[in-house]
Amino acid sequence: MNALVRPNTNLESHVLQRGREMYDGFETARASLPAGRFHQLRYEDLVRDPLAMLQECYRTLELGDFTSVRQRVAGYLGSLHEYRPNQYEISPAARRAVQDAWGPMYRRWEYDV
């Protein structure tokens, strides 16, 4: 199947299908990584406490001493104090479509849809 979206196709279905394929491929590839070469964290945890989460990444992936970059990271984070993420509304039908297509992935990662 051609990976491009053709005119007159359902874009939402295409995105949901490709997303499922992408994450299935990711899970397969992740299983082959040696220990200590992958670290997963939740976006909400990163937003809640970015310095602690980055320090955990450094430790888990053995990236070196986090204290050597902590001050620069803290300075950068301080520059984002006015940043507000975009807010989106999703229709009930779209929410059901996402739940149907990506539900297993969301449950595996303990996310609500």
pTM over 0.85: no
Complete DSSP assignment for 7-69 = TTS-HHHHHHHHHHHHHHHHHHHHHTSPTTS-----HHHHHH-HHHHHHHHHHHTT---THHH
pLDDT per residue as tens digits for the range 4-14: 555 555 888 89
Kindly list the domain boundaries of the chain, sorted by start residue.
11-83
pLDDT per residue as tens digits for the range 20-76: 999 999 999 999 999 889 999 999 999 999 999 999 999 999 999 999 999 999 999
